[in-house]
Every structure is written in C-alpha cells, then in structure tokens.
Structure 1
Amino acid sequence: MKKLLTGALAAVLSISLCTPLVYAKDNVETKTLKKSNSGNPMLGFDENGDILYGGDPSVLVDGDTVYCYVGHDTSSNESYWMPDWRCYSSKDMKNWTYESKIMNSSDIKGGDNHEAWAGQVAKGSDGKYYFYYCTQFSDGKGVGVGVSDSPTGPFKDVNQKPLVSNSQTPNSVHSWEDIDPTVWIETDENGVEHRYLGWGNTRFFVCELNEDMISVKDQDGNPDNLSVGYGKGNDIVIGKINDFQGHSYTEAPWYYRQKDENGNYYGKYYMFFACDWREQMAYATTDDIMSNEWEFGGIIMEPSATANTNHMAVFDFKGQTYFVYHDGSLPHGSGYRRVACCEPFTINEDGTIDPIKKTATGLTGTASQITDSDGNYISHKSFVNTLLDADYPITGKALQVDFYKDGEESSWEINPGKSSKKDEYVSIESNNKPGLYITAQDPKNGVITPVLSQDVKGTTAEAESMTFRTLKGFNGSGVTFESVRYPGYYLTSKSGVLSMTQDPSDKDATFFVSTDTEIKSGKARKTKRMYTVGEKLKTNDIRIQLYLETGKTVKITDYTTNADKIDMTTTGKKTLKVTYEYNGEKKTDNIQITVVDSAYKKK
C-alpha cells in the first residue's frame, strides 16, 4: 500500500512563515533515489485513495482473506469524532483494498452520530457475521451487536438495544467502562462451542454468549440475573490481573490463543491490552477465560510517538502471527486521527513474548542508512517515548553524525516527498520512531537546523520542511539533499555536526544512502575454471565482492548458478552464469569454464 500524503490535506491548515532570501546552486543535476512506497501505515486511505483516518483496528481472518476494521476518525481538533466504521481486505498482508463503510453510529437505536468506538467482527457457525461494537447509549457507553451476510457489511443492529451496558456493570468508576469488545469462539474437548465476549475500560469483564450470538448466556439458572460477580455463577465476571508490576489495566482487551500445525488451539489463553497512560501494550495469560483471572506477562510495546492511545489485534495468517495497532503517523495525526499499522512477531517456546518494536517499514517497507563522505551515520539522538502528555507532540529532537551510531537510531525509510511526489523529491522518516521526519526547522537567529519532528498540523509549511530535493552528489557521486522549504540550503555534515548550509563544500554536502549506493566495480569470480570431461562442476569456490562508490566493499554469499545445466561430458568453452542480488536488484555475471579431455591435461 503506497503511503498517502495528499496535498489537499497538507493545505488545510497551511501557515505563512517568512522565508529567508536564498540562492540555489546553478547547473545542478537531479538524482532519483529508490523510495520505500509501502510499510507502515498499512491503511489510511478511502475508496479514492485520499487520506482516511481510522483507529481501534480489529481483524477477522476468513478463509484466504484478512479483513481489518477501523472506527473512522474525522476530528479536526483534539477530541473524538467518529461517525462510522470502515472495512479493508488483503490476501497477502502486503496489498490492502478499501472495501466499504460497514455501519453508521447514527443508525443504531439509542446511539449517537459520532461515537463509532472499537469493535470486532466474528463469524458464527450459521455462516453469518457478527459485529460487536461500542457506542454511546442513553445510560452511557455500551456494547451492541450488528449482523450481516458478508464480512464487508452492511451490518444491521438486530437487538435495538445494548447487549451489555452500564446497568449491568454497576459501581462504574469511568463513564467509558463498557467499551472495546473482543470475541473468542472455540469448541471444547466435548464438542461444545463456546462464545466469549470480553470488554472494559479501567475494569474488564467477560460473559458467554448464546448460540444465537446476540444474547448473553444464563449460567446460574436465573435469566433475570445479569449482575456482576466473581466466579462462574453469574453472567458477567469482573477481571483480575495478578502481579501487575506497577502497571494498571486501561482498556482494549483482545483474546488470542496459539495454534499447532494442524490448526488446533493449544496452551494458555492470551489477553493483550492497553495499560497505563499514555498507553503501552501489555499481555496476560490464563487457563480459563471465564475465570477472568490473569497472570501479567509484561509490557510489549512502548507508548506511541504520535498518539496517546493504542489498540491491537493479534491473529495468525498463513503461518505468521501479526500484531496490528494504531498510531498518529499520518499528516496531522494524533490520538484522535489515527491509522492502522502492523508488525510480525513470535511467541517464545515458554509462552513469553518479547517487546515488539514499532517501525516505519512494517511488513513491506525498506530501511536505509545514510552516511556522509567520511562514513559517519546520520542518526537521531536516542530518546524514550515517555508517559507524560506534556512531552508531546514530539518536535525538534536532535540529529547527529557519528561513525559508531549504526543501530536503530540510524535506520530511515526514504519515502516519496510529502510536498511533492516528483521522482527527485523525498521525505526521510525515522524507522524506529514512525511518524517523525528529518525536518528543516524554522530559522532561529537566522540559523536553519535539521531536527527530527512530527507532522503535527498537516500544513503545507510542515510538508515542505520535511521534503528534500535529491541532487547528484556535489562531490561527483552519492546524493545531495536540498531543502524544499528553504531552497539553496543543503543538508551538510562537517566536523561531526549536521546542519543546513547555504554554500557548503562539495564533500560536506554529499551523502550515501545504503539502499541506493551504486556499484563502482566488482563481479563474481571463480578459482577453478578448467575441468576434465566428466568431472563435476563445483561452485563452492565462487567469490563475489563488490566495490561501492563510497569506497566500502560488500561480500555477496547468496547466489544461484546454472551449473546443473552445463554439459560436462563434452569438451569446449562453457558459460557459467552466477546470479545474485544487491539492494533489491538482480545482477548476473558470466564466468568462462573450459572443459578438456584427460590427454590435454597430461600435456
């Protein structure tokens, strides 16, 4: 899915700043860098390809298709305004298709026109699809259910009332308590199907659904008793997490269980959820969902750099486990204008889960490193996404050039330009701090400084500050980056300092992008090239070493040959083709092999 940064949105709140008088170099030659047109965010577009914000992602895997659902964010300020839910689909987790609007919150009896809170779709044994959603009802937030014959909707509210509501969860400590439904359907060892519904903000609840999927199962023989209690006797059970290690449950529960190679569930049940504020992602485990007693597993995802909340969906597809979440990495993004992203992950053999890192590249993007003419890496100075609202939005974070900083802080995604999609324009996004870009900061005391910042307002000025025109490196190779916001100012590395300079030396303004560095020389070579008739052609003595324009060398060890197709039973000259890949491009080198008879070799 191509990143969608439309000029229409960028112009919504454009501001005018005084631009200094600058002079660009004459007779410069543009250069087109290889761009990463995919990765995170994986969604964020409507049927026309324009930006569509959407948060609280949930997922349904149905056959060979993954469906992702989001609540549509339309807020222009820092508050929630969500009029409907939208659906996308994919058959490979790489290419996503916008499907439909599945339901309006205004279509729900007793609902509101802007309260499309989190929901999840499940497929029933009857072949119908059930959408468990949250919206504002007369007595507060509640969970309702819609039904459709298709996973893409439209869904119809069948009950005309909440499935569970505040009247069934008394002593509420938060007006948003009955939100964020999650569903788990499983057949037990006796062949009995169970349908569990979990939900909750600050407290979490679980109940079991009847076979009709639209009513709560009576478990104590008293159909009028829908009270909250502990244990299996009542219909709705309050949750408890043991050994929380100083954290607190916030919201967004999501049920998951592992499958074996035959598709059978095994092991403990997992509940993923948001904890603390700003929200981090955590998990807990249990042997019995209906007990609603969980063992805390740990924090697995830090707070977002661009949004105050998070909400996940965890699922398996074609042998891989995925973690879908939301952030505010689109222009003008925030916790109220969100977008779905995705990372792959694995569960350890002992059932524990290691931290999952957010990335700009996601499943399909390409990470790059950028070095100056002396081999120093451009990176941002390390910082932690804190839990303090006052530390956001993140703007003006320091950049540096350092020979030894080749870790995650020096990983970048080279994207199409935010202010121009022409081939020679790029925007450079931090891979480990998605949504933050190298930015030509507005002048302070006449000095323009490159920093790491979020596209906070989605303005034309911000887009231009985060866009660079790429030129053939002034030093004869590599690339030079010219600011679009301030033409004639070039990204410059000198004496360990990264700056924006109006008249830099050719060397200081020249950089090399790892995914775009050209091969200066080098090819496949082979030690033994003369063979006797009938002798086996071996390829383990092939060596491939490439010399890059930066002066560095690269050894290639992964290659294929046509050795099995060469006739070694006759004499003569043969062509051994060696094929390998560098920076996403395939290259084939030819090596001449000579086959002689045994009498010739004895001469």
Structure 2
Amino acid sequence: MRKLLTGALLFMAGITLCSQTAFAKEDKAGTARILNKSDSGNPMLGFDEKGDILYGGDPSILVDGDTVYCYVGHDTSAAEYYHMPDWRCYSSKDMKNWKYESMILKADRSNITWANDDTSAWAGQVAKGSDGNYYFYYCTEANRANGGGKSIGVAVSKDGPTGPFKDIGKPLVRNIDTPNGPHTWEDIDPTIWIEKDENGVEHRYLGWGNTRFFVCELNEDMISVKDQDGNPGGLSVGEGKGHDIVVGKINGFEGHTFTEAPYYYRQQDENGNFYGKYYMFFACDWREQMAYAVTDDIMSNEWDFGGVLMEPSATANTNHMAVFDFKGQTYFVYHDGSLPHGSGFRRVACVEKIEIKEDGTIDPIKKTATGLTGTASKITDYDGNYLANESFTNTLNDSDYPIVGKNLLSDFYQDGARTEWEINPGKADTGKESYVSIESNDKPGLYLAAGDLASGSIPLVLSQDVRGSQDEAERMTFKTLDGFAGSGVTFESVKYPGYYLVSKNGKLSMVQNPEDKEATFYVSTDVVAKSGNALKTKRLYTVGEKLDTEDIRIQLYLENGKAERIEEYTTNAKKIDMDKAGEKTLKVTYKYQGKEYEDSIKITVVESDYRGK
C-alpha cells in the first residue's frame, strides 16, 4: 500500500524537503482532469484466473476453428534465472479479448517421469492431429537415464486444446540423438508443421534448435520420429533427405548467428489452402533479434535468409515468436519484459499485425505499446512542441540494460514513433481516474518517470519499471489536472506532490510554482477539434457526371493550434443523385484519436447547357 508522508521530513540528495502536504501551493492545486486512457494493447496476456500478474514467455499459437489459443511457459523467478514450473493456456475469438484458460501441464517429475527437475517448462507448441487429439511438443531438462540436458518431449490431450495434457513417458528426441551429443542447450524450442502434399499424404514436420537447428518427420501416431533410412539402431543424423534428423543451414546469413526459437509458417489463401514458400522465423544474435528465412522444401532444412525483422527488446534479453493466420490477417506474437519487474526471466506475450508482400518478403516489424487494441497519443506543450524521447537504439550489448534515465525533449519538428505515447491507468493506484502512467509506444515497457530531486527541480526521464516497486510506480504516475493556462492538462507528480511537469527551452522537468503556460500540455486523445475543414477542389458538376471524391483534403485544427492531416475518410457520394440538377450535400466522415467527425460540402449539379446560358 502506498505510504503517505504527513508532516515528516524527507531528506534526499542532500536537500531537506517539506512534507508532501506542504508541496502543493494552494493556488496551483488545480481541478482533476480525467484523460481518456488506453488500458488494452500490449502486452496481450500477463494475467491469471484472478486477474493478477502472471509472467509467461515463449508464446506459441494454435488456431482451432473460430478460436486462437496461446500457450506460454510460466515464469516465476524472482531473480535473473529461469524458474518455470508449468505451462499455461489462454484463448481469444477476436485477437482483442483474451481469456485465461488453464494450466495444461506441470513440469514436475510426477507428470514428466523422465525430467531432471520440476522447474524447466521451456518453449512448446500444440498441434491438432488428424485423430482429433491435441499434441503438445515441449522442451524440458532430461534426467541422466535419458541422456541429460534439454530434450524434446510430447504430451497428449484427448479432452481439447486446453488440456490437461499427459506426457507419453519418454523423450521424443534426446540430446544424445543429435550430432556431437551429449550437449546442454541444442535440443530446445520445438515447432510443428502439419500439411498434406499434392497427393493427399499428410506430413508432420518437427523442428527445433539452439545454435544449430534440426528437422525430422513424425509418424502418423504423432509421438515417434519417422524412420527414413531403415536404421535399426535408432535415430540417425545427416544432411538431406533419407535421414531421420536433418541438420540445417541458412544461405546468405553472414554477419549473424542462429540462436534459437525456430517457428514454421506458410501462407494460406482465402480457402485455407497453403501456398508459396515455407517460412522459418527464429531468434538470431545476442541480445536476440527476430529474423526469418524461406525454403521450398522444409525437410531439406536448407534455407535462404530473408532478413532481420525485429530489434532486441528494450526490456528482455530473449525473444520467441509465433506467426499465424486468423480470419484473413497474419499476426506476429512475441514476448518482452514490459510488465512491472519484467525481464528476460519474467516475460509476457505481445502481438503485432504483419503483412507479407507479393514477392514473399517481410518488412521489419515495430514493437508497440498499443499493439492491436491500444490508442497512441501525442503530447504537445503550450507552444505546440512535441514531447519525445531522444533517439537511441536497442543494442546487442547486455551492459546497456536495463534501460533507465533516458533523456526526453520537447521539439516542434519532432514527428513519428518517438512522439507517440500510450496513456495508461496510473501504476501507483489504477483505481484513481485522475492518475496516469505514460508509456512510450516507440519503446514499449519504458515510461515517463520522475528522477531524483536536485537543484530545486526533478528531471523527467524514460525508464523501465525494473523492480516493480511502489517507489517506481509512484515515480511513473502523474495526477492530471485542468491546464493551468486555462486549457489542456497539467501533470502533477505523485512521487513529489506539488511538483509539476514543465516544458521550457526544449527541456522537460518537474518544478514547484511553474509558469502557467510552461505547465500546460495537450494530449491528442483529449483535445477537442475546433473545426474540421474538409475541402474539395471540384464542386460544380453537370447532370449525369460522376461525383469524384479523390480531390477531398481534410485538415483538422485542434485547440492547441496544431493542424492534423486526415488521410482516411468515407462519404455519402453513392447516395447522391447526380441525374437531377440542384444543390447537393456531400457528407465527409472521418476519425481522429477514436473520435468521429463529420463535415458537409455543398455540391452543385447543373444542366449540361448551363455554361452556355
């Protein structure tokens, strides 16, 4: 529970402060202003059956009928190491609203008899077999009797995609079954792909790997590896077809290293038929980036590098994706550490839409805080300068993390992703409507935060919620008040009541007794449009002429003096009778930050001989 200081003295950075009650001057107290909040978006999961935080990484997806199921390994570590006791399942019918379903399997030795410990619920993926059963391919640590090290297992559910799943009692692939074994890490992160060939024969491809990557084909029973070379001694390993397990390579992959997390995908047409090349998405380098490669023959395990798709996370050292189609849209699910106290060992699933171009290539994918359902806001000061984070790159260098104390600025000429923010319920107390926390849409998981008091002001910085502490929550929470300049909004620090966010000379900080205009900001999702001017070049038509709407231009003027160009709009043009002369009303409808606006443009239709009169 948040502690309030009442009359006590707080000594910080060598400066004695008055009590929190004394911070706020009576003439600056202001009236609470409630901003519109974006309480959805990324992360898409991260909760248990009670709605409490549940960390879970390595997301995988099963689409079964009209439902998407997402599976994660449950992260429970309080420190910086893996501690995963089980796997969890969620479901959605629209990719917007997610329901917690169940624990599908515990990673303990009573459920997995060949396991070496009870806390290695590493990555897994579920597939539906032609027999109607569900098969969960996963990784855990094997005991000595089964070769030790990470190995691939399989569990079966006859009850449905939410389990419970029952392990078959032995590893499907041991680490001693792949080259140069035994080894510790190579046999992890299984991915499964099932399809019928042109002759109607079903193939079940299982891929996995760390440092190197492998593929094999499964038998019809889904729980054993297909013998493709008649080797009576068990599994064999080699390059190319005719072998049980095939070692892979990626052409054109110079300058990168394959790390882990292969995930198979292929495009589908409107009838659900697969076509085109096979895709393997995977994690490369360290810290992990997301990349992809393509092939014409998944069992050859020879791939052509497509490119890096996603930079390292700002909040986690690893990443793991799932790529799939649902209701005609392709999605890219991944994990980061954007929850409070998040990291590469306390992860959460996020999602973005992606498009595959006609030539099969994929453009880089941008992580966002808003995801599919959130709302991005822009924040400007009284003079129209955008609040933005200074540009920086999420590097591959572990020593650059966690990201805390990054600089911010206010600049009229800033634009793009660095000026986008998600206004969330306040971390210090999500029940208080006047409390907000402001997350970077460009660097999800990083928030505006009050630094330490020094020289009479408090720096405003961009930081990760590293420890998940109440102190961090208060630093990242602001009370929203009616703007001191008579419009807009003013932000008061919850950590330091009586200190207000100000923009001055391109710098952002928090001070007592600010100038009214310096402490007044405008949030795009909160401001009201003064007028929406829809202009049209041609407004005089002759009877029977087609009404063209391509020449409409919309400039939305906001109360903070900014003008926004609107590119997408709809009209009632199809309902206007152009076969009769007279004055017509063309209605133009468009949206800005979730609000709908409508303008009217007068159109005059005249007889064909009008100009001759």
Same fold (TM over 0.5): yes
- The alpha-carbon distance between structure 1 residues 584 and 406, as it changes in their structure 2 partners (threshold 3 A), is same
Tell me, in whole angstroms, the C-alpha distance in 2 between the residues paired with 1:249 and 1:531: 63
Between 523-532 and 342-351, report the one with greater CA deviation.
523-532
Q: Report what 1:334 is aligned to.
A: 343
Is the CA contact 1:174–1:201 (under 8 Å) kept in the aligned structure 2? no
Tell me, in whole angstroms, the C-alpha distance in 2 between the residues paired with 1:94 and 1:542: 33
Tell me, in whole angstroms, the C-alpha distance in 2 between the residues paired with 1:165 and 1:527: 71
Tell me, in whole angstroms, the C-alpha distance in 2 between the residues paired with 1:573 and 1:205: 70
Give the letter aligned to residue 69 of structure 1.
Answer: Y
Is the CA contact 2:268–2:275 (under 8 Å) kept in the aligned structure 1? yes
Pairwise CA RMSD: 3.1
2:406 to 385, 392, 397: 397
Deviations 1:12-45 (A, max 9, x none): xxxx985933521425111111111211101111
- The alpha-carbon distance between structure 1 residues 475 and 242, as it changes in their structure 2 partners (threshold 3 A), is same
Aligned-residue offset at 1:571: 12
Q: Report what 1:210 is aligned to.
A: 219
2:306 aligned counterpart, secondary structure: strand
Matched, 1:20 2:1: no
Q: Report what 1:457 is aligned to.
A: 467
2:42 aligned counterpart, secondary structure: coil
- The alpha-carbon distance between structure 1 residues 520 and 47, as it changes in their structure 2 partners (threshold 3 A), is same
Is the CA contact 1:272–1:312 (under 8 Å) kept in the aligned structure 2? yes
Aligned-residue offset at 1:467: 0.7
Tell me, in whole angstroms, the C-alpha distance in 1 between the residues paired with 2:582 and 2:474: 62
Q: Report what 2:305 is aligned to.
A: 296
Is the CA contact 2:375–2:593 (under 8 Å) kept in the aligned structure 1? no
Tell me, in whole angstroms, the C-alpha distance in 2 between the residues paired with 1:337 and 1:141: 20
1:452 aligned counterpart, secondary structure: strand
Is the CA contact 1:523–1:544 (under 8 Å) kept in the aligned structure 2? yes
Give the letter aligned to residue 127 of structure 1.
Answer: G
Q: Report what 1:54 is aligned to.
A: 56
Deviations 1:31-89 (A, max 9, x none): 11111121110111111111110000000111111110000001111111111111111
Following superposition of structure 1 onto structure 2, how do residues 317-466 of structure 1 map, counting pairs within 5 Å?
317-421=326-430, 422-444=432-454, 447-466=457-476
Between 548-557 and 314-323, report the one with greater CA deviation.
548-557
Aligned-residue offset at 1:577: 6.5
Q: Report what 1:44 is aligned to.
A: 46
Q: Report what 1:259 is aligned to.
A: 268
Is the CA contact 1:40–1:361 (under 8 Å) kept in the aligned structure 2? yes
2:97 to 95, 98, 119: 95
Q: Report what 1:186 is aligned to.
A: 195
Aligned-residue offset at 1:229: 1.9
2:341 aligned counterpart, secondary structure: coil
Q: TM-score, normalised by structure 2?
A: 0.88
Aligned-residue offset at 1:270: 1.2
Aligned-residue offset at 1:447: 3.9
1:520 to 509, 530, 540: 530
2:270 aligned counterpart, secondary structure: coil
Q: Report what 2:134 is aligned to.
A: 129
- The alpha-carbon distance between structure 1 residues 263 and 526, as it changes in their structure 2 partners (threshold 3 A), is closer
Deviations 1:399-431 (A, max 9, x none): 111111112211111111111222211111111
Is the CA contact 2:42–2:371 (under 8 Å) kept in the aligned structure 1? yes
Q: Report what 1:275 is aligned to.
A: 284
1:287 to 296, 311, 325: 296
Q: Report what 1:496 is aligned to.
A: 506
- The alpha-carbon distance between structure 1 residues 17 and 163, as it changes in their structure 2 partners (threshold 3 A), is farther
1:476 to 486, 508, 515: 486
Following superposition of structure 1 onto structure 2, how do residues 128-277 of structure 1 map, counting pairs within 5 Å?
128-138=133-143, 139-172=148-181, 174-277=183-286
Aligned-residue offset at 1:545: 5.5
Aligned-residue offset at 1:560: 5.2
Tell me, in whole angstroms, the C-alpha distance in 1 between the residues paired with 2:11 and 2:395: 31
2:596 aligned counterpart, secondary structure: strand
Is the CA contact 1:437–1:466 (under 8 Å) kept in the aligned structure 2? yes
- The alpha-carbon distance between structure 1 residues 364 and 571, as it changes in their structure 2 partners (threshold 3 A), is same
Q: Report what 2:610 is aligned to.
A: none
Q: Report what 2:113 is aligned to.
A: 109
2:474 aligned counterpart, secondary structure: helix
Aligned-residue offset at 1:470: 0.8
Is the CA contact 1:59–1:66 (under 8 Å) kept in the aligned structure 2? yes
Tell me, in whole angstroms, the C-alpha distance in 1 between the residues paired with 2:93 and 2:276: 28
Tell me, in whole angstroms, the C-alpha distance in 1 between the residues paired with 2:361 and 2:577: 54
Between 106-115 and 77-86, report the one with greater CA deviation.
106-115
Q: Report what 2:83 is aligned to.
A: 81
Deviations 1:489-523 (A, max 9, x none): 11111112111111110011111112221123457
Is the CA contact 1:131–1:155 (under 8 Å) kept in the aligned structure 2? no
Matched, 1:119 2:134: no
Is the CA contact 2:294–2:305 (under 8 Å) kept in the aligned structure 1? yes
Aligned-residue offset at 1:170: 4.3
Deviations 1:256-280 (A, max 9, x none): 1122333222222111111111111
Give the letter aligned to residue 38 of structure 1.
Answer: S
1:409 aligned counterpart, secondary structure: helix
Tell me, in whole angstroms, the C-alpha distance in 1 between the residues paired with 2:566 and 2:304: 47
Q: Which runs of 5+ in 1 are unaligned?
A: 1-6, 9-15, 598-603
2:407 aligned counterpart, secondary structure: strand
Is the CA contact 1:146–1:155 (under 8 Å) kept in the aligned structure 2? no
Q: Which runs of 5+ in 2 are unaligned?
A: 3-9, 608-613
Tell me, in whole angstroms, the C-alpha distance in 2 between the residues paired with 1:72 and 1:289: 30
- The alpha-carbon distance between structure 1 residues 318 and 572, as it changes in their structure 2 partners (threshold 3 A), is closer
1:70 to 69, 72, 85: 72
Tell me, in whole angstroms, the C-alpha distance in 2 between the residues paired with 1:389 and 1:371: 34
Tell me, in whole angstroms, the C-alpha distance in 2 between the residues paired with 1:258 and 1:38: 28
Deviations 1:278-320 (A, max 9, x none): 1111111222111112222221111110000000001111111
Aligned-residue offset at 1:555: 5.7
Tell me, in whole angstroms, the C-alpha distance in 2 between the residues paired with 1:129 and 1:506: 63
Q: Report what 1:600 is aligned to.
A: none
Give the letter aligned to residue 558 of structure 2.
Answer: L
Is the CA contact 1:122–1:183 (under 8 Å) kept in the aligned structure 2? yes
1:32 to 11, 31, 34: 34
Tell me, in whole angstroms, the C-alpha distance in 1 between the residues paired with 2:563 and 2:316: 41
Q: TM-score, normalised by structure 1?
A: 0.89
Give the letter aligned to residue 149 of structure 1.
Answer: K
- The alpha-carbon distance between structure 1 residues 521 and 130, as it changes in their structure 2 partners (threshold 3 A), is same
Give the letter aligned to residue 125 of structure 1.
Answer: S
- The alpha-carbon distance between structure 1 residues 350 and 160, as it changes in their structure 2 partners (threshold 3 A), is same
Is the CA contact 1:64–1:91 (under 8 Å) kept in the aligned structure 2? yes
Tell me, in whole angstroms, the C-alpha distance in 2 between the residues paired with 1:293 and 1:353: 19
Is the CA contact 2:387–2:410 (under 8 Å) kept in the aligned structure 1? yes
Deviations 1:152-182 (A, max 9, x none): 3324334201000112124248512111000
- The alpha-carbon distance between structure 1 residues 62 and 503, as it changes in their structure 2 partners (threshold 3 A), is same
Aligned-residue offset at 1:341: 0.5
Q: Report what 1:3 is aligned to.
A: none
